[in-house]
A and B are shown apart, each in its own frame.
Chain A
């Protein structure tokens, strides 16, 4: 049992090492087999662990002592409990499907780049597993940094395109800002309670040591980390730019790994968040603001992947709303369902992009319904799921979040429902312009469109299946279910009191949400299927298409001043200051040497003259003051 646990993160690491080191001589088939196989094995072990946890509950396994100093001790330990085993399933399960899909999607790459791709992908999964399995914040932080690194490597995978490199840099820098928050939270925790392991931090006697101010500071700092990693306002701009990476990578970042890390971290620290009402309000407000704000941006994007990216940011906002109002189960539930349908959406988009030879602009698509039946059906299912139509998975998780939000504060609910409506609208705008109507490219291009190969469609079908049914693990009481997920997670997640609503209220809320979503869907299909008006937007539409000019704003108030400072330091401090000192020392020594060189004139007599004069001087010195001579003697011996 405990040996199996170490294998879960170890297998992807081994896959990474083999593919990374053997990239010059392994064949593509071998690379894909090793890369996907490692994740498949991890997945199988995760399933075993999951059922083990379900039967016997969570445990902590210590591998070795990682840091041991006088005032604290940090173990390299893994905690397998309800929360982490669920995340393990999501990461390795969806990760495996994405690996499988990548095997076909990336086949145009040369073998060494192909191997590099799979190596990064495995390292990514490894880091994420470490993050989720760690039994203390330090191990989580290692994984946390690991996913940041891997996202950088993968976003900039096609590093010959400088634009992509900038996107990778942006993701890395934005993540660093968040990471600093997380790091400070760890320091603060060590300072105040002297331990970082979950079992100790969340125990009653340690929590008693924390004042509410400390709890607020720690949770806020942790939340800063989550903002960076899970792309919330104000650090969300890296996620849409992360579309520069290959499409399966986007699926991996957006669905199974990376962005869910923030949710996981806060859900894991739910006990701490419980102590600080201030933080909870901030989390909820930032969550709902992000959800709405990015949904509005998604309305006017024309890049198929950009729409999905903003939709991810928006859905993550929902999850933070859930965390903020204390519906931790709802957040984890939404992570799970979102992982399925968002992975499906991205892989479906990848399938479209693959068929259209790297065309990503939906204005040049249309009418793909007949050409790509499997992609079409699965994509449609994912759209319905994300729009929140029952009985698809998205409905249940979103409904749980919205119900909890309503119980906490009806304003959250109103904004949440508006966002949900926008979500339904932009997803079906995307669907209708891509798959319905007529193809808007040339006939020649149309002729070449074909369904993707089996290794790509099979993951789509599997994900579509789960997108449809995954919601049934969390059917709420009001609909006659027992919410198994809630019971499963109950040992690790605290339940906020006062989130229960009257059944009649819940029916009403559900009815309104569904009705608005359906209206939005019908309107979107009607508007965009026949004759999509995809002209250049004006007015508010233009602002939305330009993402509220947030990138420009950041550019003006942060990037430009920093670059100006850097230029100043480079040109003034570096060139005149540091370089000046070094260069002038060199110049002076050269000058002095040129003067001294005149002494060497080749005239033997003058040398002897100097010698004799020196001797005379020394003798005179010896006669009159021998201390100087002693000093000279000291210098030479």
Chain B
């Protein structure tokens, strides 16, 4: 499968994520959109990793090119998991305090 398809898919996912973050007020949906963006990045990383690996393998079967990107992806997944736990905790606290998950209530830093 050509690399372009992966790129288009990642681009679409990322755009959806951004638009979601920018337009939605529900904290949980914003949160999900952030995950979407992270995974778009992950998708790109593995796609390119695969591409490089294929090219290098043809020249030298012992090559390890592209392995870093996959490592990155694991890191991102771990960080995302940690972020999810913290983020959800924040959202719970937000709900407890405001009886709502609307992020527009979080404007206390103003002034």
Measured CB to CB, the residues of A under 8 A from B are 600-605, 608-609, 612
Assuming A604-B107, A605-B104, what are 8 further A-B pairs, CB within 8 angstroms?
A: A600-B110, A600-B111, A602-B106, A602-B108, A602-B110, A603-B107, A608-B22, A612-B22
B22 engages A605 (CB within 8 Å) = yes
A605/B103 in contact, CB under 8 A:
yes
Q: Is B73 an interface residue (CB 8 A)?
A: no
* A605 neighbours in B (Cβ, 8 Å): 21-23, 25, 103-104
Question: Are B103 and A601 in contact, with the CB atoms below 8 A?
Answer: no
Contact indicator B107/A608 (Cβ below 8 Å): no
B69 CB–A CB distance under 8 Å = no
Please measure, in the bound complex, the distance between the C-alpha atom of A131 and the C-alpha atom of B18, giving whole angstroms: 87
Q: How far is the CB of A411 from chain B (nearest CB, A)?
A: 90
Known: A612-B18, A612-B22. A604 touches B110 (CB 8 A): no
Closest residue of A by beta carbon distance from B21: A608
Contact in complex: B21, A601 (CB < 8 Å): no
Let me know if B22 and A609 touch, CB within 8 A.
yes
Q: B85-111 toward A: CB 8 Å interface, digit per residue (1/0)?
A: 000000000000000000110111111
Residue of B21, B104, B111 near A603 (CB, 8 A) is: B104
Instruction: Give me 26 A-to-B residue pairs in the complex whose CB atoms sit less than 8 angstroms apart, sorted by A's number.
Output: A600-B110, A600-B111, A601-B107, A601-B110, A602-B106, A602-B107, A602-B108, A602-B109, A602-B110, A602-B111, A603-B104, A603-B107, A604-B103, A604-B106, A604-B107, A605-B21, A605-B22, A605-B23, A605-B25, A605-B103, A605-B104, A608-B21, A608-B22, A609-B22, A612-B18, A612-B22
Least CB distance, B56 to chain A, in whole angstroms? 29
Q: How far is B20's CA from A605's CA once the two chains are assembled, in angstroms? A: 10
> A residues within 8 A CB of B23?
605
Q: Once bound together, how far apart are the Cα atoms of A604 and B106, in whole Å?
A: 8
Residues of B within 8 A of A608 (CB): 21-22
Q: How large is the interface on B (under 10, 10 to 19, 20 to 34, 35 or more residues)?
A: 10 to 19
Q: How far is the CA of A609 from the CA of B107 in the complex (A)?
A: 15
Q: Tell me, in angstroms, the Cα distance from A612 to B25 when the chains sit together.
A: 17
CB neighbors of A among B1-29 (8 A)? 18, 21-23, 25
A226–B111 CA distance with the chains assembled, in angstroms: 70
Contact bitstring B40-55, A, C-beta under 8 A = 1, else 0 = 0000000000000000
| Cβ distance B29 to chain A, nearest Cβ, rounded Å | 12
Q: Chain B nearest CB: distance from A505 CB in Å?
A: 102
The answer for the CA separation of A612 and B37 in the assembled complex, in Å, is 13
Q: How far is the CA of A608 from the CA of B18 in the complex (A)?
A: 9
B13–chain A nearest beta-carbon distance, Å: 15
Kindly list chain B residues whose C-beta atoms are within 8 Å of the C-beta of A602: 106-111
A604 to B22, CA, bound (A): 9
- A604 CB contacts on chain B under 8 angstroms: 103, 106-107
Please measure, in the bound complex, the distance between the C-alpha atom of A605 and the C-alpha atom of B23, giving whole angstroms.
7
A401 to B17, CA, bound (A): 111
Q: List the A side residues contacting B18 at CB < 8 Å.
A: 612
B109 contacts across to A, CB distance below 8 A: 602
A630 to B107, CA, bound (A): 36
Find chain A residues with CB under 8 A from B107 CB: 601-604
Shortest distance between the CB of A607 and any CB in chain B (Å): 10
What residues on A are CB-neighbors of B103 within 8 Å? 604-605
Q: Which residue of B lies closest to A616 (CB)?
A: B18
Smallest distance from the beta carbon of A617 to chain B beta carbons, Å? 15
Q: State the Cβ distance, A618 to closest chain B Cβ, in Å.
A: 15
Q: Please, which residues of chain A bring their CB within 8 A of the CB of B108?
A: 602
Chain A, Cβ-Cβ closest to B19: A612
Chain A's closest residue to B27 (CB) is A604
Q: CA separation between A608 and B103, bound complex, in Å?
A: 13
Which residue of chain A lies nearest to B109 when distances are taken between CB atoms in the complex? A602
Query: Closest Cβ of chain B: how far from A311's Cβ, in Å?
Result: 78
User: What residue of chain A has the Cβ atom nearest to residue B103's Cβ?
Assistant: A604
Distance of A323 Cα from B38 Cα, bound (Å): 103
Min CB–CB distance B20 → chain A (angstroms): 11
